[in-house]
Structure 1
């Protein structure tokens, strides 16, 4: 795993927690922030996957 994959997964988890907290408390703003952060984490993780694959191809 590279840094982007690790940070991406961390942001996904953090976003999911925010999303749940927002749903439980009825705070739509926090819920949507969490969803956005979760999606951003997924994108960052995919960037890490692509980087990882590209580095493997170089070898």
Structure 2
């Protein structure tokens, strides 16, 4: 079970890194606005932080 959680966390972290770190500043702004407008920023950001902690 712990392995599944760690693999899932690693996948979330990898996805976040591929989206966020490979984006230009304009793309980051568009992503941030889209998350805020749709209300996904509230659940997404803590999930990503927790996933990064578990993955590391």
User: Shorter-chain TM-score category?
Assistant: 0.3 to 0.5
The structure whose Rg is larger is 1
Richer in helix (by share): 1
Greater length-normalized contact order (CA 8 Å, ≥ 6 residues apart)? 2
